[in-house]
């Protein structure tokens, strides 16, 4: 086990503050040079959809925030395959590049991580 922080983001982008909170936690951790795994699970996969126009509902773009992760040294963005397929989505619908992972893969990430934040 190393000091990696795994953040599991399970909420759709604009219906609650949860998606934004997960992103802020990840960026804060990355600024302090912590290793971060960012996992989109359940409704969290909706954060990755291409073509979002949140200005229509006076919100700030969540997918744009995810795209700056690389600049902060967060290269490990994962998406749960099962969550995508149960929502009729595939990688071609996504604006943000994320590594596909199955449930066993996510379980392994959790096991390897010192801290897991899930919201």
Partner 1 sequence: MSCLHTIAKSPASNLLTSCSALLQKGDGLIFVEDGIYYCDQLQLEDLISRGISVYCLKDDLQARASCKGSLPDSALVDCKAYVDLCCTHDKVVNWF
Binding positions for partner 1, rule: CB under 8 A: 12-16, 42-43, 46, 49-57, 59, 87-88
Tell me the H-state helices in 32-94.
62-67, 81-86
Residue with Cβ nearer partner 1 (16 or 91)? 16
Quote the least distance from Cβ 12 to partner 1, whole Å.
5
Residue with Cβ nearer partner 1 (46 or 78)? 46
Q: What span, in angstroms and rounded, lies between the C-alpha atoms of 60 and 104?
A: 33
- Radius of gyration for the chain, computed over Cα atoms and rounded to the nearest angstrom: 13
Quote the least distance from Cβ 59 to partner 1, whole Å.
7
Residue with Cβ nearer partner 1 (67 or 87)? 87
Q: Of the candidates 25, 10, 20, which has an alpha carbon nearest to the alpha carbon of residue 59?
A: 20
């Amino acid at each position: 086990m190393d000091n990696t922080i795994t953040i599991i983001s399970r909420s759709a982008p604009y219906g609650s503050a949860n998606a934004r909170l997960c992103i802020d936690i990840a960026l804060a951790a990355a600024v302090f040079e912590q290793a971060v795994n960012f996992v989109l699970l359940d409704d969290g996969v909706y954060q990755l959809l291409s073509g979002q126009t949140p200005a229509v509902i006076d919100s700030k773009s969540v997918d744009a925030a995810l795209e700056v992760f690389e600049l902060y040294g967060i290269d490990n963005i994962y998406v749960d395959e099962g969550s995508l397929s149960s929502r009729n989505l595939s990688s071609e619908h996504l604006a943000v590049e994320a590594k596909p992972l199955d449930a066993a893969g996510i379980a392994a990430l959790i096991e390897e991580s010192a801290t897991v934040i899930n919201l």
